[in-house]
Amino acid sequence: MFQSILMMGGLGIAIGTVLVIASKAFYVYEDPKVVAIDDALPGANCGGCGYPGCNANAQAIVNGVQDVNSCVAAGADVAMAIAQIMGVSVSDKEPEFAGPGCFYSKDDADMEYKYLGVTDCRAAALLFGGMKVCRIGCLGLGTCVKACMFGALSIGSDGLPKVDQKKCTGCGACERVCPKNIIRLTSMTRRIMREYTKEECITPCQRACPTGIDIKEYIRLIKEGDYEGSLQVIKERNPFPTIISRICPAPCEFQCRRLLQDESVAINDLKRFVCDYEMNQDKRILPYKAPATGKRIAVIGGGVEGLSTAFFSARLGHDPSVFEATASLGGILRKAIARERLSMDVLDWDVEGVRQMGVTIQTNARAGLDFTIDGLLKQDFQAVFTATGGWDSRLARGDIDQTETVFPGAYLLIDLLRSQSDNNINIAAGENVVIAGGGIRVPEAVNILKENGSKKIIVISRKQKGETSFNPEAFDELSKVGVTFIYHSGITKVMGEEGQLKAIEYADLDTGMKQVINTDTLIIGSGRFPELVFIPVKKEVQDGEEERIENNGPLAWEGHELQKKPDSSKELGLLSSQDAISEYSSAVAAINGGRKAAAAIHNLMYGIQFQEPSKFITEKTMLQDVSFLNNVATFPRNIMELGQAEKNSAEKNSIDKFSTGFSEEQALAEANRCLRCGLVCYEKSKAIG
């Protein structure tokens, strides 16, 4: 018996030892933060956060992948508790909701595959490829509805998913299961920041519009009598709709599919109608703004592009200030447009709308004289954008008799050349000079720089070596005096410290490889200063085992170019074909420049990577399209009468009441002509028998 006891005791010790060793070998560490957050979460395991269970979401929060308020089943108190665990603060979050990107159902398609009993969109897409006619459009089997855990989605009578925004939590479950990317999370910020890609069901008119307005949607709302809703759609991408409705060249109308049948829809005149409604009501309809970020942005230039940048930045929740060199806003529009086309009342009305979005305006403030970029950055502006306009703007404001400089060490080539004959124009060129572009005027510029004491001159050209504009003899002479040529390259960034330019970064247009060269002067071979976003450079200092940001010492800054759409001609760097080198071709193009600038500012301040450009729509992108229309009745275009313009302008003391626009009856008739196009589809009207 004693032996049995010893045997059992020894066995117990052995098992205990094995268990101790196993516990050490297979021990799984549980992060106390993950445990605490998991306990704070409601335990619904609904998957609304995009993760399989609350524990997975808790781990994602700790890893910084998810926000502290990512749980759609919890309230603000839970978010606050999680924030306390993480040691962060909770700020207002812009609401996101699902939105269908297609309006054309499979029931309306000319031809379709039969799904042979398949009831899931994903399976149908894999087995049959979906629709035969509209490869983009909704498959209509309602998989997104089944995925929604909050009852926010349903299939409407037209066979398309409908979203109840009051119930939608923005969890993204429907977005993840849709094989055609028809359902997508959307928000005001996302729609401002986006560039259209070739996968989206975008109408031809919207693709042609430089600002990318959802044209078919604002026309639909006009047809329904919802003029305020129509204005909200327009102002989502255009801060100057009343102005543009009078002067826009309307490239959208040249792409209207009704041209295959009769005449284009009067898109711009319909915009004018709804904008006239707003001003005649004397009631400003302001678009939605994201929650305040507390970030201050300076915009240099109060023209269309500068004001547009400020407008979109305000909508993104930032605090923008515009610095204008003259006493009034509007830029070239105030000087170069005939008054019978654009009255000052109309211009002032839209400009005031930008101001009411929370934009601060400071006039009679010239860059380089009344303020500097490094000075603004020292005043706690998180970013500075240059939108100073081109040579036309300088001529219009009578500002050509002296040197203009926007950022430290930068001058226009035209000012350098004019300095030879005009003693009022002085260029303080340093010893190390970079000339960007310049063409046939480069030899003359080099001679002037040499006379002024410049020792090292580098010319950066976007052209290949054999494509230079000047003759071989001139090239030999420049080489003899020590000029270095860098071919087929573009400047992508400028860098400086305090009030001095220190270096530039350039990229090879073939390989994309970037290099930095030191310089104290940059001569720009165009009629305007480039559009750059300047941000302070924060130094990372190793402090024990942690890294912290140190702002002490001289202010270092960088000027970044705006993102460009990809093209076969290597669009990268300054002076590309996508850059404005004097004035924009139209005001509506300048508005889009401002929107792109606001997106670039936002991304640079938050360190967000630019959108992948490989699928952007460019002028050379091959897209599906429609070459003929079936069963579309012919209806003539409604012509807007212009005869009342002179009568209105004769009323000296009254604002333009816009009686030159459509009447409500005409607007309704014209809105009914819209075919409500998709990418490769359109609504049909009954043929005339």
Report helix, strand or coil for 505: strand
Does 252 score more than 80 pLDDT?
A: yes
Q: Which residues of 544-561 are buried (b: 16+ CB within 10 A; e: fewer)?
A: eeeeeeeeeeebbbbbbb
Specify the pTM. Answer: 0.81
> What is the pLDDT confidence band of residue 613, given thresholds at 50, 70 and 90?
low
Does 273 score more than 90 pLDDT?
yes
Higher pLDDT, 218 or 156: 218
Residue 194 burial class via C-beta count within 10 angstroms: exposed 0-12, middle 13-18, buried 19 and up:
middle
pLDDT in tens, 71-125: 766 666 677 677 667 665 555 556 677 777 777 777 766 666 677 888 898 888 8
| Residue 133 structure tokens | 């006619």
Work out the percent of the chain whose per-residue pLDDT is above 70. 80
Residue 89: count of CB within 10 angstroms of its CB: 9
The larger pLDDT score, comparing residue 37 to residue 108, is at: 37
Question: In the prediction, which pLDDT does 250 show?
Answer: 94
pLDDT digits (tens, 9 = 90+) for 192-211: 777 777 767 788 999 899 89
Instruction: Give, for 507, the enclosing helix (H) or strand (E).
Output: strand 500-508
The phi-psi region of residue 263 (left if phi > 0; otherwise alpha if psi is between -120 and 50; otherwise beta) is beta
**Is 556 in a helix, a strand, or coil?**
strand
**Which pLDDT score, from 0 to 100, does residue 46 have?**
62
Over residues 463-478, mean pLDDT? 76
CA distance 489 to 508: 5
Please provide the DSSP assignment of 216-232 as one string: HHHHHHHHTT-HHHHHH
pLDDT of residue 422: 81
Across 251-271, average pLDDT: 95
How many Å apart are CA 260 and CA 180, to the nearest integer?
Answer: 28
- Cβ neighbours around 500 below 10 Å, total: 12
| Most confident region among 66-80, 237-251, 670-684 by mean pLDDT | 237-251
Rounded to a whole number of angstroms, the CA Rg of the chain reads 30
Taking alpha carbons only, the member of 391, 400, 390 closest to residue 421 is 400
pLDDT for 229 equals: 93
**Confidence tier at 644 by pLDDT (50, 70, 90):** very low
Are 307 and 594 contacting, i.e. CB atoms less than 8 angstroms apart? Answer: yes
For residue range 532-551, list pLDDT tens digits in order: 999 999 776 555 444 444 55
Between 309 and 8, name the one with better pLDDT. 309
C-beta separation of 481 from 459 below 8 A: no
3 sits in the region (left: phi over 0; alpha: psi -120 to 50; else beta) called alpha
- Which tokens hold the place of 667? 């607007």
The pLDDT score that the predictor gives to residue 658 is 45
Q: Tell me how far apart the alpha carbons of residues 650 and 652 are, in angstroms, rounded to a whole number.
A: 6
HSE-up (13 A, CA, CB side) for residue 233 = 18
Residue of 111 and 385 predicted with greater confidence: 385
Residues 38-78 pLDDT 10s: 777 877 666 666 676 788 777 877 776 676 667 766 666 67
Question: By the 8 A CB rule, do 489 and 573 touch?
Answer: yes
Q: Which residue is listed with tokens 């009323």?
A: 651
678: left (phi over 0), alpha (psi -120 to 50) or beta: beta
Determine the Cα–Cα distance for residues 166 and 378; give it in Å rounded to an integer: 43
Q: How confident is the model at residue 256 (pLDDT cuts 50, 70, 90)?
A: very high
The C-alpha atoms of residue 477 and residue 468 are separated, in whole angstroms, by: 14
Shortest CA distance to 641 belongs to which of 624, 621, 658? 658
- pLDDT of 606: 83
**Mean pLDDT within 502-527:** 93
pLDDT band at 23 (very low <50, low <70, confident <90, very high): low
Residues 455-473: what's their mean pLDDT? Answer: 83
CA of residue 72 relative to chain centroid, distance: 28
Highest mean pLDDT among 547-551, 568-572, 673-677: 673-677
Read off the pLDDT of residues 353-375 as tens digits, 9 standing for 90 and up. Answer: 999 999 999 999 999 889 999 99
Across 120-129, 224-233, 263-272, 627-636, least confident range: 120-129
Phi and psi, residue 662, nearest 5°: -65, 150
Beta bridge partners of 362: 323
Answer with the residue of higher pLDDT: 142 or 106. Answer: 142
Residue 303 CB-density burial (10 A; 0-12 exposed, 13-18 middle, 19+ buried)? buried
Say how far apart CA 84 and CA 530 lie, in whole Å: 45
In total, the chain counts a number of residues equal to 689
Residue with tokens 């720089």: 449
Contact 608, 662 (CB under 8 A): no
Cβ(112)–Cβ(133) under 8 Å? yes
Neighbours of 393 (CB within 10 A): 22
| Spatial distance between the Cα atoms of 568 and 581, rounded to a whole number of angstroms | 20
Query: Please, where are the H alpha helices in 134-239?
Result: 143-147, 173-177, 188-193, 204-208, 215-223, 227-235
| Highest mean predicted confidence (pLDDT) among 12-26, 328-342, 607-621 | 328-342
- Of the CA atoms within 13 Å of residue 1, those in its CB half-sphere come to 0
Token pair recorded at residue 87: 């040691």
Q: How confident is the model at residue 412 (pLDDT cuts 50, 70, 90)?
A: very high
Is residue 303 within 8 Å of 387, Cβ to Cβ? yes
**Looking at residue 371, what DSSP letter applies?**
B
220-242: buried (b, 16+ CB within 10 Å) or exposed (e) per residue?
bbbbeeebebbbbbbbbbbbbbb
Structural contact between residues 538 and 558, judged by C-beta atoms closer than 8 angstroms? no
Distance CA 74, CA 66 (A): 14
Q: What is the pLDDT of residue 689?
A: 41
Per-residue model confidence (pLDDT) at position 28: 52
CB atoms within 10 A of CB 147: 19
The DSSP element (H or E) to which 6 belongs, if any, is helix 2-25
Q: Check the CA dihedral 186-187-192-193 and report its sign.
A: negative
620-644 average pLDDT score: 81
Residue 456: pLDDT over 60: yes
Considering the chain, what is the average pLDDT of its residues? 82
Strand partners of residue 495: 503, 558
With a CB cutoff of 8 Å and minimum separation 6, the contacts of 615 are 197, 198, 199
- What are the residue ranges of helices labelled H in 325-441? 333-336, 344-355, 373-378, 391-396, 413-418
- Residue among 193, 198, 207 at smallest CA distance from 615: 198
Place of tokens 């940048």: 309
Residues near 295 by Cβ (< 8 Å), separated by ≥ 6? 317, 318, 319, 382, 383, 605
Asked if the model's pLDDT at residue 31 lies above 50, the reply is yes
